[in-house]
């Protein structure tokens, strides 16, 4: 009987090794180890044996069962590994063929410039103020000390809007009306910057836009001096452009500041960039906003953003900034 | 304003190097825009005589000119001008010359013929703009003489300066010289022509009068007069008579060259002298032909309503009662005061006797008239900044001096000098402490007086302060701050030390600004590109986009295509998609954040201006835009965001919805109306979202409170309802979410239309996850919750549970 067990086991092992799929192995498993298997049959026959023989046969059966179970497990592991390999092979991907259906999106280069500048000024302790693009004469001109027939009005070619009385409503020609709105609404101390879109009725070309962007900085507090103006411009210059940059002020004229100046920045290579205008807030402007010019003083400076933004990317024709062509937009 | 170094030096008592002058102008607020070195590059240009002219064998527009430059050797030149004749003396740029414009003259072949130099036009040697032909030299200068010697050209420097409205004094050579002299520390002196009449009462800001009429009689017994009938418009009117002028005398070359250099055209001796005096002293003036001035009287009055006159440029100008007129004694208008004269009394080739006007006109009046008529002249540019009312007499003397030298005019030793209203410029108290407080300086009172004195601001000490008298050439200055600026300018901006802001303060963006940035980042994250089209639309563009055609219009647009303020971002975005579509750039995803402008509400002047967000998804259907909205709503934690199907202008008739937050309308979503796309030649669908960012910012937000996560297993149930089409899916979802406290999440996972669902309804299937934080739910609890969910959907929306 021991011999029969050995033969049966050996035959069963052959069947296990021959199983080529997991399903087939499961069938073989039932066949050689299940209730109807030859091994189970031998076990049933054990009852009629002598105790010694029974012990021997029992040991042989246990041994055979253990061997077969191990063989099935080994075969199962081998087949599973093969199946996984085949599955993996079947689902092979060439990842170099992947192209994103969408990209990271694009902020307009002017928006990028505005955000960067805002961040620099926030870092310097300023808040950001905003205002409407269509303005009344008071905020755009009169409160800023532009007399009704002052020649300075000609410095800014104005789009007039068909609302209100003659020349009463305009597309704002600068972001300075936001200064007025801030000073009307808020008592000093004021430390604010005002970015925004402005409009000039001027023929456009590669270096001039009728619709462009400015950023102004306004400080009103006790004891503010022209020295603070120059110092703040210099601080901003180094923060935004870099530590190797310096600034200088040259006399100029704006109705809403006095003394007034242009400010130029010097690049580390020694060349100059004429950036914007500035000055001490004119006492009339403070008074127009209900601020006592004897108690408070202030300064303002401002500049155009579009050229800065365009230059950084080598855009030589500013008119491109209004382009809606995706080939332009997706570069930034 | 242009100015010559040589002219400036007539008023300086020591030479100043061109580099120092240019640097000083930059520091004085009259920066150099352009510098031109004159009289340089003329070394190789000499006088030559035209010996012969012959056609070029191979070219029509060039002729062959044989010239002799003094060495007796004929030289062949190819020349494109035909205005010279044999025997003419002309400037020849010899070989090796580098021209003022930088061109290098070499021997070269033109169409097969040798050219051994270049004959020069006036412009080519830096004499004005005349480039019509070769400059033919008068007076038979010797051959081979350097042209600079023949024309009396000395090396000089010409600067074009930027002059701001607050610098009336910088509109004259003398005024610029005064400012410059003060800056560089040399002396300044005005010209001192012989006085024609004994000095009268000096003119100060306080020396005005009442106007009226004043007459005088010439030595020949001819009476003449001036009258100010508008004392608030004309502060001073000085008139003189010159007789015996030789109308054929030309102005001298030096004067013509200076006029040309400063941008004026030489006309005739008297006109040139008039312009020369204006440029030199800043006093616009007008010589009339005395014989043509009715009653030999000049009168200043306001124009009458409906009156008009024809100006020198032959244009009839309609006038208003605000304009100032010069009339003659018969009340015939002879000029618009301070702006432009008329043709009738102009001096001509027959003029021998001159009535000379030197006046001071009110800047506002001149500015207003000049702007209204769109008529700018050298005179108006000066009057509107404010001419020096005290300079008239000196200017008249200078005119008479030059006229006597140049055209033999003899000045009558009488004048009329009518005074009327001059602006009040009382002395200003300038507080030393205030100067230093504004500038951040530590200037001593003496230093303040020291910098002001050379520019004519005279100071009288008042304790530590000064009483400052404003000079008559500084109409712009009237207050303490004006004087502070002069102190800063002449002390030097570069000498004011930088200071740091020290006031404690905190910078940050507002919630609105932070949200706007978050929205931008979200849209970028969705792979979309920001664009910034112009906010101006063409007439009809609103209608073409299917919107209400009424938009606010610009009064003076640059071009008609940019004349209407947008009332929505939709038209610009559709145009942007169309632009890309036309270039086979399909499927673009664009967005814009910008202002839109609606008709002002009742009682308000300014438009209802709003900040909108617009998103256009080309090649996508409406749900894509709704998804953008939903993600946006999630980002901003909006309370009960919803879309409600609706018919909206510009949007697809059956694929559009209003966008709501907590029941308030904040925008629209859907697809662009196919008719609109047709009009824009867009052949792909365009999903679109437009929302009012201001409204979003103000809209209700979900509580930021945290909801505790359960450690116990959840239970999922699926519920499918038949819901009428009119009921929004999101509302059903929200009802389910609120129907039982055990509901953790509700998700719409299937929508089905068709049999067996009744027409006009659809099946909405929701997966509901139930959860308690403190226990595992029992089957009974789940069943109860399910019953409440069904009851709610049925009760609130008339939904029917599907079997």
Q: What is the pLDDT of residues B650-688, one digit of tens each?
A: 999 999 999 999 889 999 999 999 999 999 999 999 999
Residue keyed to tokens 């205002």 = A131
Over residues A141-189, the pLDDT tens digits come to 999 999 877 766 766 789 999 887 777 899 999 999 999 999 999 999 9
Pick the range with the lowest mean pLDDT from A60-69, B184-193, B294-303: A60-69
Q: Please indicate, yes or no, whether residues A14 and A128 belong to a single structural domain of this protein.
A: no
For residue A28, the distance in angstroms to the closest alpha carbon of chain B comes to 40
Q: What is the pLDDT of residues A194-248, one digit of tens each?
A: 999 999 999 999 999 999 999 999 999 999 999 999 999 999 999 999 999 999 9
CB contacts of B31 in chain A (<8 Å) are 250, 262
Pairwise CB contact (< 8 Å): A155 & B165? yes
| Contact by Cβ (8 Å): B239, B217 | no
For chain A, say whether B526 makes contact (Cβ under 8 Å): yes
| Residues A8, A91 within the same domain | yes
Residues A27 and A126 in one domain: no
pLDDT of residue B138: 85
Going by pLDDT thresholds of 50, 70 and 90, the confidence category of residue B122 is confident
Both A114 and A262 in one domain: the answer is: yes
Confidence of residue B267 (pLDDT cuts 50, 70, 90): very high
- Cα–Cα dist B148/B594, whole Å: 61
Task: Confirm whether A123 is domain-assigned.
Answer: yes
Q: Is B553 an 8 Å CB contact of chain A?
A: yes
Residue among A122, A204, A326 whose CB faces B508 most closely? A122
| Co-location of A193 and A236 in the same domain | yes
- Nearest by CB to A230, which of B479, B498, B524? B498
* Shortest CA distance from B431: residue in chain A: A294
Chain B neighbors of A212, CB-CB under 8 A: none
- Distance of alpha carbon B727 from alpha carbon B733, whole angstroms: 11
Shared domain for A216 and A309, answered yes or no, is yes
Residue A272 in any domain: the answer is yes
Of B500, B513, B576, the CB nearest to A235: B500
Instruction: Identify all chain A residues contacting B367, using CB atoms and an 8 Å cutoff.
Output: 149-151
CA distance B267 to chain A (A): 29
Residue B588, chain A, CB below 8 Å: the answer is: yes
Domain span at residue A163 reads 109-329
- pLDDT above 90 covers a percentage of chain B that reads 80
In a shared domain, residues A59 and A142:
no
List the single residue in B488, B498, B556 with the smallest CB-CB distance to A259.
Answer: B488
DSSP β-bridge partners for residue B468: B428, B459
Q: Which of B438, B502, B522, B577 to mutate to test the interface with A (most CBs of A within 10 A)?
A: B438
> Which residues of chain A make contact with B558, given a CB cutoff of 8 A?
201-204, 210
Q: What are phi and psi of B94, to 5 degrees?
A: -80, 165
Q: Which of B364, B488, B511, B607 to mutate to test the interface with A (most CBs of A within 10 A)?
A: B488
Does residue A18 fall inside a structural domain?
yes
Which one of A52, A67, A97 terminates a domain?
Answer: A97
Lowest mean pLDDT among B239-243, B370-374, B671-675, B680-684: B370-374
When CB atoms are compared, the residue of B164, B523, B597 closest to A253 is B164
Asked if the structure places residue A104 within a domain, the reply is no
Residue A5: closest CA among A89, A58, A61, A53:
A61
Looking at the fold, whether A141 and A287 belong to one and the same domain comes out as yes
Of A63, A97, A131, the position where a domain reaches its end is: A97
The ipTM (two decimal places) reads 0.86
- Of B497, B513, B535, nearest to A211 by CB-CB distance is B535
* B694 interfacial to chain A (CB closer than 8 Å): no
- Which of A172-176, B110-114, B340-344, B368-372 reaches the highest mean pLDDT? A172-176
- Asked if B507 reaches chain A (Cβ–Cβ under 8 Å), the answer is yes
The sheet carrying B800-801 orders its strands as B743-752, B761-770, B715-724, B800-801
* A265 part of a folded domain: yes
Q: Give the domain-ending residue among A58, A75, A97.
A: A97
Q: Check A191 against B503: CB less than 8 A apart.
A: yes
* Alpha-carbon gap, residue B563 to B553, rounded angstroms: 6
Edge-to-edge strands, sheet with B608-618: B529-530, B589-598, B608-618, B686-692, B664-672, B651-661, B641-645
Residue A102 has pLDDT above 80, yes or no: no
CA–CA min distance B521, chain A (Å):
8
What local confidence, expressed as pLDDT, does residue B765 receive?
A: 96
Q: Is residue A255 part of a domain?
A: yes
CB < 8 Å to A221, chain B: 503
Q: Return the pLDDT at A101.
A: 75
Chain A residues lying within 8 Å of B368, measured CB to CB: 149
In angstroms, the separation between the Cα of residue A154 and the nearest Cα of chain B is 9
**Chain A residues with CB inside 8 Å of B527's CB?**
101-105
Q: What are phi and psi of B90, to 5 degrees?
A: -135, 160
Region B704-719: what's the mean pLDDT? 93
Report how many domains make up chain A.
2
Q: What percent of chain A has pLDDT over 90?
A: 72
For residue A166, the model assigns a pLDDT of 75
Average pLDDT value for residue range B103-121: 89
Distance CA B387, CA B281 (A): 10
A103 lies in some domain:
no
B554 vs A102, A162, A259: nearest CB: A162
Is B440 near chain A, with CB under 8 Å?
yes
Instruction: Say yes or no: A66 and A113 in one domain.
Output: no
A102 within a domain of the structure (yes/no): no
Query: B558 and A211: CB-CB below 8 Å?
Result: no
pLDDT averaged over chain B? 93
Same domain, A158 and A16: no
Domains delineated in chain B: 2-39+157-184 (3.30.56.10), 45-153 (2.40.50.140), 212-419 (3.50.40.10), 428-491 (3.30.56.10), 511-698 (3.30.930.10), 715-801 (3.30.70.380)
B575 touches chain A (CB under 8 A): yes
pLDDT at A1 over 80: no
Q: Residue B193 in contact with residue B411, Cβ under 8 Å?
A: no
Are residue A153 and residue A265 in the same domain, yes or no?
yes
- What residue of B is the nearest CA neighbor of A100? B527
CATH number of residue A312's parent domain: 3.30.930.10
Query: Does A117 share its domain with A190?
Result: yes
Residue of A nearest to B23 (CA): A250
Q: What is the mean pLDDT of residues B597-626?
A: 96
Is A163 in Cβ contact with B558 (below 8 Å)? Answer: no
Environment class of B354 (CB within 10 Å of its CB; exposed 0-12, middle 13-18, buried 19+)? buried
Mean pLDDT, rounded, for B192-205: 89
User: Shortest Cα distance from A185 to chain B (angstroms)?
Assistant: 16
The answer, for B571 touching chain A at a CB cutoff of 8 Å, is no
Classify strands B156-161 and B32-38 as parallel, antiparallel or unpaired: antiparallel
Q: Where are the alpha helices (DSSP H) in B374-470?
A: 378-383, 392-407, 432-439, 445-452
Helix (H, G, I), strand (E, B) or coil at B193: coil
B570 lies within 8 A of chain A by CB:
no
């Amino acid at each position: 009987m021991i011999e029969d067990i050995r033969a049966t086991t050996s035959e069963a092992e052959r069947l296990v090794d021959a199983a080529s799929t997991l399903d087939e192995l499961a069938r073989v498993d039932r066949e050689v180890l299940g209730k109807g298997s030859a091994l189970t049959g031998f076990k049933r026959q054990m009852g009629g044996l002598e105790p010694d023989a029974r012990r021997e046969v029992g040991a042989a059966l246990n041994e055979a069962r253990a061997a077969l179970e191990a063989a099935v497990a080994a075969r199962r592991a081998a087949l599973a590994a093969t199946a996984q390999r085949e599955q993996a092979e079947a689902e092979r991907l060439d990842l170099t063929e992947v192209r994103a259906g969408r990209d990271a999106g694009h902020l307009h280069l002017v928006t990028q410039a505005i955000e960067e500048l805002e961040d620099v000024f926030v870092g310097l302790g300023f808040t950001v103020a905003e205002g409407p693009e269509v303005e009344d004469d008071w905020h755009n001109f009169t409160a800023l000390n532009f007399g009704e027939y002052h020649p300075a009005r000609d410095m800014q070619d104005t789009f007039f809007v068909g609302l209100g009385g003659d020349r009463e409503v305009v597309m704002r020609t600068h972001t300075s009306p936001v200064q007025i709105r801030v000073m009307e609404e808020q008592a000093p101390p004021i430390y604010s910057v005002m970015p925004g879109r402005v409009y000039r009725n001027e023929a456009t070309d590669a270096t001039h836009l009728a619709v462009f962007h400015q950023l102004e900085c306004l400080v009103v507090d006790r004891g503010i001096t022209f020295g603070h103006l120059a110092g703040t411009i210099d601080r901003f210059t180094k923060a935004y452009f870099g530590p190797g940059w310096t600034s200088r002020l040259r006399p100029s004229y704006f109705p809403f500041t006095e003394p007034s100046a242009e400010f130029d920045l010097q690049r580390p290579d020694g060349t100059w960039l004429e950036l914007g205008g500035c000055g001490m807030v004119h006492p009339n402007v403070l008074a127009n906003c209900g601020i006592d010019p004897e108690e408070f003083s202030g300064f303002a400076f401002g500049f155009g953003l579009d050229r800065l933004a365009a230059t950084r990317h080598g855009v030589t024709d500013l008119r491109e900034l209004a382009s809606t062509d995706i080939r332009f937009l997706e570069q930034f | 304003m242009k100015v010559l170094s040589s002219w400036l030096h007539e008023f300086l008592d020591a030479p100043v190097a061109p580099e120092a002058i240019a640097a000083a102008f930059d520091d004085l607020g009259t920066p150099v825009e352009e510098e031109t070195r004159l009289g340089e590059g003329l070394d190789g240009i000499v006088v030559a005589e035209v010996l012969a002219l012959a056609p070029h064998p191979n070219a029509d527009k060039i002729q062959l000119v044989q010239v002799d430059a003094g060495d007796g050797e004929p030289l062949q030149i190819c020349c494109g001008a035909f205005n010279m004749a044999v025997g003419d003396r002309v400037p020849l740029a010899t070989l090796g010359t580098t021209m003022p414009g930088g061109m290098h003259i070499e021997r070269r072949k033109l169409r097969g013929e040798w050219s051994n130099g270049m004959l020069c036009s006036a412009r080519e040697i830096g004499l004005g703009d005349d480039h019509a032909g070769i400059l033919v030299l008068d007076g038979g200068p010797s051959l081979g003489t350097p042209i600079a010697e023949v024309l009396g050209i000395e090396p000089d420097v010409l600067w074009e300066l930027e002059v701001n409205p607050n610098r009336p004094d910088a509109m004259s050579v003398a005024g610029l010289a005064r400012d410059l002299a003060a800056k560089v520390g040399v002396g300044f002196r005005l010209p001192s022509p012989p006085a024609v009449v004994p000095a009268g009462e000096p003119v100060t800001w306080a020396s005005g009068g009442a106007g009226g009429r004043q007459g005088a009689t010439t030595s020949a017994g001819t009476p003449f007069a001036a009258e100010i009938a508008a004392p608030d418009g004309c502060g001073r009117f000085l008139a003189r008579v010159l007789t015996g002028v030789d109308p054929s005398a030309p102005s001298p070359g030096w004067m013509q060259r200076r006029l040309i250099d400063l941008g004026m055209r030489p006309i005739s001796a008297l006109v040139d002298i008039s312009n020369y005096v204006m440029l030199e002293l800043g006093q616009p003036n007008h010589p009339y032909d005395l014989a043509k001035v009715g009653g030999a009287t000049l009168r200043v009055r306001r124009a009458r309503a409906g009156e008009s006159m024809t100006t020198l440029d032959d244009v009839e100008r309609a006038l208003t009662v605000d304009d100032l007129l010069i009339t003659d004694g018969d009340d015939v208008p002879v000029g618009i005061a301070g702006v432009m004269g008329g043709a009738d009394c102009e001096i001509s080739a027959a003029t021998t006797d001159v009535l000379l006007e030197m006046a001071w006109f009110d800047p506002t009046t001149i500015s207003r008239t000049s702007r209204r008529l769109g008529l700018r002249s050298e005179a108006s540019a000066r009057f509107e900044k404010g001419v020096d009312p005290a300079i008239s007499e000196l200017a008249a003397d200078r005119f008479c001096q030059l006229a006597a030298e140049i055209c033999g005019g003899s000045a009558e030793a009488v004048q009329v000098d009518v005074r009327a209203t001059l602006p009040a410029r009382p002395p200003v108290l300038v507080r030393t402490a205030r100067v230093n407080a504004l500038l951040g300086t530590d200037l001593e009172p003496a230093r303040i007086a020291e910098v002001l004195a050379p520019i004519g601001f005279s100071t009288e000490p008042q304790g530590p302060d000064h009483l400052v008298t404003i000079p008559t050439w500084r109409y712009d200055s009237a207050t303490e701050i004006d004087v502070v600026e002069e102190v800063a300018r002449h002390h030097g901006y570069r000498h004011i030390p930088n200071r740091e802001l020290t006031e404690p303060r905190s910078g940050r963006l507002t919630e609105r600004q932070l949200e706007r940035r978050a929205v931008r980042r979200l849209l970028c994250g969705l792979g979309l590109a920001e664009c910034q089209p112009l906010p101006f639309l063409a007439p009809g563009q609103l209608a073409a986009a299917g919107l209400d055609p009424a938009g606010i219009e610009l009064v003076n647009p640059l071009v008609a295509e940019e004349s209407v303020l947008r009332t929505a971002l939709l038209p610009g975005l559709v145009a942007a998609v169309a632009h890309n579509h036309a270039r086979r750039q399909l499927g673009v995803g664009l967005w814009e954040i910008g202002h839109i402008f609606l008709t002002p509400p009742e009682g308000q002047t300014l438009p209802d201006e709003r900040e909108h967000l617009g998103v256009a998804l080309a090649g996508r259907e409406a749900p894509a835009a709704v998804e953008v909205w939903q993600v946006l709503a999630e980002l901003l934690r909006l309370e009960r965001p919803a879309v409600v199907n609706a018919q909206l202008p510009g949007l697809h008739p059956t694929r559009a919805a209003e966008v709501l937050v907590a029941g308030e309308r904040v925008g629209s979503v859907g697809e662009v109306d196919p008719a609109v796309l047709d009009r824009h030649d867009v052949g792909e669908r365009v999903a679109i979202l437009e929302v009012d960012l201001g409204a979003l910012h103000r809209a209700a937000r979900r509580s930021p409170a945290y909801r505790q996560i359960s450690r116990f297993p959840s239970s999922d149930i699926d519920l499918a309802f038949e819901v009428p089409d009119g009921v929004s899916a999101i509302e059903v979802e929200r009802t389910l979410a609120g129907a039982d406290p055990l509901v953790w999440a509700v998700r719409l996972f299937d929508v089905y239309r068709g049999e067996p669902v009744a027409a006009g309804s659809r099946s909405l299937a929701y997966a509901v996850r139930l959860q308690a934080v403190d226990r595992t739910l029992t089957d009974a609890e789940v069943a109860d919750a399910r019953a409440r969910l069904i009851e709610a959907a049925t009760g609130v929306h008339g939904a029917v549970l599907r079997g």
